[in-house]
Amino acid sequence: MTNKIIYYPDCKYFRGDIPCRPHKSEGYHCETCPVYSKSVSRILIIKLGAIGDVIRTTPLLTKIKAEEPNSEIWWLTYSPEIVPSLVDKILGFTLENVVTLKSVEFTRIINLDKDYHACALAKEINAKQKQGYTMINGKPAPANDEAVPKFLTGLFDDINKINDKSYLEEIFEICGWKFEGQEYILEFDSSKKWDIPSGGKKIIGLNTGCGARWISRLWDNKYWIELIRLLMDNGYFPVLLGGKQEDENNRKLEKETGAYYAGYFSLQEFISLMNQCDCVVSAVTMGMHIAIGLKKPLILMNNIFNPKEFELYGRGEIVMPEKECKCFFSPKCQNDEYFCMDSLKSTTIFDAIGRQFTQ
């Protein structure tokens, strides 16, 4: 009897190692399955990156599904927990998964990381078409002509500074498409209930960190304190946001100002907490991308990056220091004369917040 059972390995839902989702959820067998979908292409996205980098790459999925609805999408990343369920196979960067990828033939590989190991892997995996970056002569290099402009902005600061395209425009062009406002795809568990004592006031999330590497973006506590007091004096309810790295400092800010701080949480809980906010203030961090993914008005503090890089979808503003930043794309401030973030006034951010509720 078992020899007569039919299975369709060309279906996008077929696994081979375990039952497919339609069988587990509905008990379907291949020969009578109403959701059988023959995979006509298999696409691998390599975007290892940090969580924020993965989130801001998700608009590509909407375009892929529109252009190739029967495609089977794979994604290799360091952050599998944030990749949307729209992806058919989500792979963490492990030896086992790398071995698997080398045995699969893809219709297309989209590698958006210029890390040596990402480029080396993109070169070794079999694919009819390769877009983004690969390895040539032992060094990262564009895999297709459309990837050259983005490649050059990562090599030369002067070219980066005059670039007038957002990251999303650039990666869509790498794939041969035009960015048309496709939104981030951010999935999270919304079941957690938060009892934030805002009293009906607008909740302003203050994402106070900037990461351990890019300390040239750091806004001093005295300015956060000024902003918090301005918000509280004018009928807003500030909520301090951050991870474990920001916990100690956020507790200091809470003690100094009385601003609400609930602590630090898992990624899913952090996203859920930020979702309670009416507006978010952040430097260029993971929190920035989460706010965009949640479609929250964002006040983005930027000093060391080209502001044209960021796509806010018409929600929020980018605020810059009054004094020129002389440390373009530098993790640490190199300027002995002044620290540019000291010229970003708390009133500038406060006024930007106010405009989000009057437009």
The answer on pLDDT for 2 being more than 70 is: no
Nearest to 46 by CA among 149, 123, 103: 123
Q: Return the structure tokens found at 130.
A: 């390769």
* 211-252 pLDDT, tens digit each: 666 667 788 899 999 999 999 999 999 999 999 999 999 999
**How many Å apart are CA 124 and CA 140, to the nearest integer?**
13
The answer on pLDDT for 176 being more than 70 is: yes
| Domains of the chain listed by start with CATH number | 41-174 (3.40.50.2000), 202-355 (3.40.50.2000)
Q: Return the structure tokens found at 94.
A: 């492990």
Q: Which of 20-29, 42-51, 78-87 has the lowest mean pLDDT?
A: 20-29
**How many Å apart are CA 46 and CA 132, to the nearest integer?**
9
Q: What are the distances in angstroms from CA 305 to CA 14, 162, 180, 283?
A: 44, 11, 23, 11
Position 211 scores a pLDDT of 67
**How many Å apart are CA 272 and CA 274, to the nearest integer?**
5
In the 8-state DSSP scheme, what is residue 226?
H
The answer on pLDDT for 342 being more than 60 is: yes
Report whether 342 contacts 220 (CB < 8 A): yes
pLDDT band at 8 (very low <50, low <70, confident <90, very high): confident
- Per-residue pLDDT, averaged over 268-279, amounts to 97
Position 1 scores a pLDDT of 45
- The position carrying tokens 């980066």 is 160
Q: Which of 9-23, 43-57, 60-74, 296-310 has the lowest mean pLDDT?
A: 9-23
The answer on pLDDT for 328 being more than 90 is: no
Read off the pTM.
Answer: 0.90
Three-state DSSP class for residue 38 = strand
How many percent of the chain have pLDDT more than 70?
97
Alpha-carbon torsion (257, 259, 263, 267), positive or negative: negative
Per-position DSSP letters for 56-79, written without gaps between them: TTTHHHHHHHHH-TTEEEEEEES-
Position 169 scores a pLDDT of 98
- Per-residue pLDDT, averaged over 12-28, amounts to 87
Position 264 scores a pLDDT of 93
Q: Return the structure tokens found at 252.
A: 């200091």
Question: Across the beta sheet with 71-77, what order do the strands follow?
Answer: 89-92, 71-77, 41-46, 105-111, 126-136, 139-142
The answer on pLDDT for 112 being more than 80 is: yes
